[in-house]
A and B are shown apart, each in its own frame.
Chain A
Amino acid sequence: MPRKGILVDRPFERLTREQAELIHQASMQILTDPGLISFNREAVDILHSHGAAVESIAGDHQSWQVKIPEQLVLKALDTAPKTVKLGARNPDNALIMHGDEPRVYLITGSETNIWLDVDFPTYVNKADPTKEIRVPEFKPRRGTIDDLCQSAHVCEHLEMVDGYIRTVNIQDRDITEENKDVNKFFASLNNNTKHFMSGLTSLKQLDNVVRMAELIAGGKKALEDNPIISFITCLVKSPLQFVDDTTETFIEVCRRGLPIVVSSSPQAGTTAPIKEAGIMAQINAEVLAGITLGQLVKPGTPVLYGSVPVRARMDTLGDSYGSVETSQYNIDCVQMARFYRIPNYSTSGVCDSKIPGQQSSIERLFSDMVVTMSGPQYLHCAFGLLDCNSVFCLLQAVLDDTHFKMIEFFLRQPRVDQPELEAMLKQIRDVVATSQKLYIGHIRPVLRSGEISGVYPFEGSGEADDVFELAHERMKELLARPVEHIDRETTARIFEEIPGILPRLNIYESGS
């Protein structure tokens, strides 16, 4: 049984069918005029051999202008699977995504450099020293592999987290470009039994991480049936450029038939038009170009339509994930993916705020609600991420889990049918006939059935705002709860066959 996610009965859509069709047509035009610039030779060769017009561009870097004809895109859209399965170490955590079904799976990530610790020092009121309060203090530091293990551990226990994208970049002294991939894959998989998606730091490590996944899944065929890992690549740099190294990675992952996200992240105002129609036509063209390339490499490769559009801040021209328009673009992308019936990877919850607080709550909850309501299949909703994409706070992830429980409850389908209404009519008549005219007695049958939403779990006593302290307690409880690690025998084989994994990650040998 796969995870159930959140099935959005009637997804919110901003675009009419005609507007989606217009965006599609505009994207088709973009793919032939101006087309894409490719810095990757192999992509050029593959596209050219299937009918794309290619022209070399003069300059310092070797690059080509590629014009992708419409029929090539349409054929790719035809061969791209409409249902994608993302497996998991625990098969009950598998995700089954149908492109035309708005069932939302909630995913963590993505990689941040800074880990935010929290402490609660006591402050004394100067005017009245008998008055003391504990105030949360957030301390940033560089992320480590221990942090990654902790994050994967807590996210294993967060009820609303359906899949795991690593939340922190491992920057230990003994982590290098060469061993980073195997360590981040092992640390995540060893502490979390949900689906694991990641990018690659070094293409040289692709076969090592695939082999690691095969050992855990139970062999090559078992991994095909239960792909416990998948990949994400930003092969397109906006506007309209195939990047050399990420495109190479993308091609190699497609060759191995593992699920992969074709992701594009244009910034409205700088690398894409600021106007909605413009950024939509461009991002759609960029994602379709990636999907087309992937299907030409290996028809039937499971791909997700990946969209991470964002609006520029007007004060700094940096990303503004907290802006309202960012959510609008994401919702439009969800709709375009559904237009093609390809499962969608979307984004919400990334906020501009630098620490947990009122701004982060408002920004996150706003985008989490509206984007979830649009029904993306794979929602990278940034549990715990702050300061756009650069800071991760585990405490915030615990809060996000709570907020998503509220969203899940809100999106439950209403029960309004004839038997229910007949029962309600009887109840109304019965109660109106009593002297007290209160329905309280009828609360009880539903009180324990899960039909009534709970109070906010981090509500303080009296007027005190104890949210952070209570959430911190919850975080510690989750950390103390054990996780199901990879078994001893498989761990031994992984350490034997895969070079570069830090010995201290072997829980059976290090004594940790």
Chain B
Amino acid sequence: MPEDIINLIQESVIQGRIYKDDEGMDEGMVGQPGVTELVESALASGLSIQSIITKGLSGGMNIVGQKFEAGEYFIPDMLASAQAVGAAMEILEPYLAGSGVNAKGKIIVATVKDDLHDIGKNIVSILLRGAGYTVKDLGNNIDTQAIVDAVREEKPQFLGLSALLTSTMARMADVIQMLEQNGLRDQVKIIVGGAPVSEEFAKSIGADGYGADGFQALAVVEALTSGTEN
């Protein structure tokens, strides 16, 4: 029975279903419990947090990754699964301490001042949550000082900055400069992204990483976490 719930959680992740009313990849899934209902059941059944996360959620995401590599899944499928994992992690977050599961880290994301574009940033957030990171999304058009204040208060391992306009990408440099002035720069790894941003630009402003898209951003964060970044 406990194994059944873990398998169902894994299947829900593969199907990308958060709630029972959600459609999945296959027909006839509506009405069956989604990942949030299953995680609640798993907790009520006394299943370990570790097995829920490693076997259920991560196990499901591994299969989703394989399907994506094989061309069977598309990006919307990956994102739906990542959203399902993110929703499950929100439920599990209060239980993580003392569960034996190491938290992967906290990341603050924001679109810089005067820029209202946030699709890319939101996709990055979904993927990071799906990979098990705790994400605090400050939103868009965020003042430089507010970003620096958030880093000071939240003490994240990562800061992700996004800009879609050539006129606003310079704000990323402002944020890094202000973090340095406040003695916070060494506490946080900074990843930048957005349509006009390039690897070269990222280096020129002193960022630690650059993601051309959501998947690359996640890969950069994972590499920085494991210390395997170039």
Question: Which A residues are closer than 8 A to B by beta carbons?
Answer: 435-438, 440-441, 443-445, 447
Contact = CB atoms under 8 A, between A and B. Distances in A.
B125 A441 contact: no
A374 B76 CA distance: 36
Contact of A441 (B74, B80, B123, B137): B80
Given A443-B76, A447-B76, A438 B123 contact: yes
A444 B119 contact: no
Interface residues of B, number: 16
B77 interface: yes
Nearest to B27: A445
B148 interface: no
In the A-B complex, list the 3 residue pairs whose CB atoms are closest, starting with the nearest: A443-B76, A436-B122, A440-B79
A441 B74 CA distance: 12
Given A435-B137, A445-B23, A440 B80 contact: yes
B144 interface: no
Contacts, number: 32
A386 to B, nearest CB: 34
Given A441-B22, A445-B23, 14 more contacts: A436-B122, A436-B126, A437-B122, A438-B119, A438-B123, A438-B126, A440-B76, A440-B79, A440-B123, A443-B76, A444-B25, A444-B76, A444-B77, A444-B80
Contacts of B123: 438, 440
Contacts of A436: 83, 122, 125-126
A437 B83 CA distance: 12
B16 interface: yes
B122 A441 contact: no
A445 B77 CA distance: 10
Contacts of B80: 440-441, 444
Interface in B11-68: 16, 22-23, 25
Interface string B119-156: 10011011000000000010000000000000000000
Nearest to A438: B122
Contacts of A441: 16, 22, 76, 79-80, 83
A4 to B, nearest CB: 26
Contacts of B23: 444-445
Contacts of B119: 438
A445 B28 CA distance: 12
Nearest to A435: B137
B88 to A, nearest CB: 15
Nearest to A445: B23
A461 to B, nearest CB: 15
A443 B123 CA distance: 14
A444 B67 CA distance: 15
A226 B16 CA distance: 51
B99 to A, nearest CB: 25
A370 to B, nearest CB: 33
Contacts of A443: 76
Q: Which of B22, B76, B77, B83 is the most central at the interface, judged by chain A CB atoms within 10 Å of its CB?
A: B76
Nearest to B23: A445
B122 to A, nearest CB: 5
30 contacts: A435-B137, A436-B83, A436-B122, A436-B125, A436-B126, A437-B122, A438-B79, A438-B119, A438-B122, A438-B123, A438-B126, A440-B76, A440-B79, A440-B80, A440-B123, A441-B16, A441-B22, A441-B79, A441-B80, A441-B83, A443-B76, A444-B23, A444-B25, A444-B76, A444-B77, A444-B80, A445-B23, A447-B74, A447-B76, A447-B77
A435 to B, nearest CB: 7
Q: Which of A438, A440, A443 is the most central at the interface, judged by chain B CB atoms within 10 Å of its CB?
A: A440
A424 to B, nearest CB: 15
Nearest to A439: B76
Contacts of B77: 444, 447
A444 B74 CA distance: 9
Contacts of A447: 74, 76-77
A442 to B, nearest CB: 9
Q: Which of A435, A438, A445, A447 is the most central at the interface, judged by chain B CB atoms within 10 Å of its CB?
A: A438
Nearest to A444: B76
A457 to B, nearest CB: 14
A443 B77 CA distance: 9
Nearest to B21: A430
A441 B79 CA distance: 8
Interface in B92-126: 119, 122-123, 125-126
A444 B80 CA distance: 9
Interface string B72-88: 00101101100100000
Interface string B1-14: 00000000000000
A444 B27 CA distance: 12
Contacts of B76: 440-441, 443-444, 447
Contacts of A444: 16, 23, 25, 76-77, 80
A440 B79 CA distance: 8
Nearest to B76: A443
B78 to A, nearest CB: 10
A444 B81 CA distance: 11
Contacts of A440: 76, 79-80, 123
B159 to A, nearest CB: 19
A440 B75 CA distance: 9
A301 B137 CA distance: 73
A122 B227 CA distance: 42
Contacts of B122: 436-438
B120 to A, nearest CB: 11
Contacts of A437: 122
B52 to A, nearest CB: 22
B89 to A, nearest CB: 14
Nearest to A448: B25
A99 B76 CA distance: 44
A472 B76 CA distance: 31
A445 B137 CA distance: 28
A389 to B, nearest CB: 41
B12 to A, nearest CB: 14
A444 B16 CA distance: 10
A436 B125 CA distance: 9
Contacts of B126: 436, 438
Nearest to A437: B122
Nearest to A436: B122
A111 to B, nearest CB: 41
Nearest to B126: A436
A6 B125 CA distance: 43
Nearest to A446: B76
A447 B75 CA distance: 11
A435 B80 CA distance: 15
